[in-house]
A and B are shown apart, each in its own frame.
Chain A
């Protein structure tokens, strides 16, 4: 009896050892995700059309990798407050977070985001087939990189802290039917754009030319900046002196005023939503703003202009320059599962997932997705967007911590120009003067 037991025991031990050996063998040849199977990642995404598309694709990631993802979706204006609190904690709840582009200045400066170099250097984590050059350059520069030129742009001293995900640029939408009816050609330059914007209300009484944001604050400022870059202007020169009040700045403000004056009724108080609604309801003939809007035009529940919209690149002034903005994804310094989070962010921005998300109505981050036949069959405007993105300007607005304050002042001043007829030159002089003071207080002239 004892003999039998002994044999049984030995067999078990041998079998166990064999089992362990097989396990070790397997580990040596394991897939990149095996070590993280069963990990539960907590991520923070905004409630936004792109991320709604992402939600439909996420189960695919879990199926492929065994890593589970719990998503905390927040209204995007609220996100920054919550993240700021989360990031100052010793142990954070979020493993990955989507951030609005201007948060880059704050989070990176406060040393709250992981530098991605050590992940891309890690052969176990970094996928050689990732094809980073395929990521849209303007987006990467604007959203992902910090520490280079001017501190917020790429350059020899810069490095990567996030990947563009749910980014957007500006694009011109126009009513094909109205343009055909009056034999108008799609504006390629600012002169043509401004002329058309005021001609359309005469040709089509009751219809506004171009639906633009103009509401006091962020909206007015955003609309102004859209015109500033193509017209050759900037907020600051390379020595941080405000130049918003130079000839190009005045021209951009004049352009905005012309557009708003020739806009639909009530256009002085339009925010992004109202401007969009005016275009979707057929009360404006053109729309120049974020690509994120494109998903709605052919949705009959929101739009009265289904099938009537054409798209063209942002018209050029002295240069081509569409906006860059939207969201990026990054790993917080205080995250609990950083490596698995990197695998998720790499997967989400991979060619495969980028296409899957685009097919669900998201904003792709890669050139290849914009040129993809399947994506274009479903969304014919994608090709135009891809072309427009080659001129995306990562420096169309400064991404510095004090920007919020300067932006608010610029926005209220522009609102006064638009609604109270304040003098453009002297108003912008005021903005420049106050900006100079803010920059002085923040230490930007320490080296002067």
Chain B
């Protein structure tokens, strides 16, 4: 072999270990799941003994009202928590992006909820929502209000898990937004200030547009996470009452362990995977479109200026 072609191959040698890890660690499990989703497989069988059923698992899922309902619950849950968390997290970041005394201590306190193990968060909220000894109902009662059936009414149960998730994950958005804010070019902000922009104008016309790439990534990360949340809901309501809080991750876990239908569970996971891929892809495309748009207008400015 000539040394020039060896030279050309060198980079691939260097990438090879990473590629191998990727193939073993990522592609293998995913293809295993893909394969399993075409099988009628219960956990007492070895995968080789399971029957091939083609697309049956995928098609029967759409006739399963429990799956459709749990998909709807997941969408409601994911979009409401992410929307509220984005608004709260961003506002908090805009408010707290200044030099105050004790700021770093305050920031640490703000991100505490994120550091607590999900099971503990679930238990904590379950006790706070407890109908008779929970802090919420006791407070309501002491002010003379009626108790709220936090976890035992289907509408309230969904609201309750949304509140708990917002409490836990707003800090994540807050901290990313704050980091983005602090890395914004000071000169732009100064220029805006000198031009007489007030705080609202600075936020809406300068800060938020400049933060957009970070906001989009944050949104995406949270959305993906919200679609997969499991432990907190498992502990708080276990999907109930009825199916009102049975998000898809919980349905998958029950299908695999309670109903012992590994093939169906794999098909459900694949639907979730496809959904998340579509979301990611659309975000990515949107981001690229914005960047190109911006680059174009920037070029246009460059061309017209002397």
Contacts and interface: CB of A to CB of B under 8 A. Distances in A.
Interface of A: 80-81, 84-85, 87-88, 106-107, 109-110, 112, 215-217, 264-266, 268-269, 283, 401-402, 404-405, 407-409, 412-413, 415-416, 418-420
A413 B43 CA distance: 26
B46 A88 contact: yes
A419 B154 contact: yes
29 contacts: A81-B43, A84-B44, A87-B44, A106-B42, A110-B44, A110-B45, A215-B241, A216-B240, A216-B243, A265-B131, A265-B132, A266-B130, A266-B132, A266-B149, A266-B152, A268-B149, A268-B152, A283-B132, A404-B258, A404-B260, A408-B259, A412-B239, A412-B242, A412-B243, A412-B246, A416-B241, A416-B242, A419-B153, A420-B242
B44 A269 contact: no
A405 B257 contact: no
Given A408-B259, A420-B242, 9 more contacts: A110-B44, A215-B241, A217-B238, A217-B240, A268-B152, A405-B258, A408-B254, A412-B240, A420-B154
B71 to A, nearest CB: 15
A269 B130 CA distance: 10
Nearest to B240: A216
B contacts with A: majority SS: loop
B74 interface: no
B185 to A, nearest CB: 52
A66 to B, nearest CB: 35
B121 to A, nearest CB: 18
A415 B241 contact: yes
A112 B44 CA distance: 9
By CB atoms of chain B within 10 A, which of A216, A409, A420 has the most? Answer: A216
Contacts of A80: 257
Interface residues of B, number: 29
B66 A269 contact: no
A contacts with B: majority SS: helix
By CB atoms of chain B within 10 A, which of A264, A407, A413, A416 has the most? Answer: A416
Interface in B126-180: 130-132, 147, 149, 151-154
B237 interface: yes
A441 to B, nearest CB: 8
A420 B43 CA distance: 35
A402 B40 CA distance: 13
A303 B17 CA distance: 60
B85 interface: no
Contacts of B261: 405
Given A84-B43, A401-B42, A419-B152, A265 B147 contact: yes
Contacts of A412: 66, 239-240, 242-243, 246
A405 B259 contact: yes
By CB atoms of chain A within 10 A, which of B147, B237, B259 has the most? Answer: B259
Contacts of A81: 43, 257
Contacts of A407: 258
A80 B258 CA distance: 10
Contacts of A85: 43
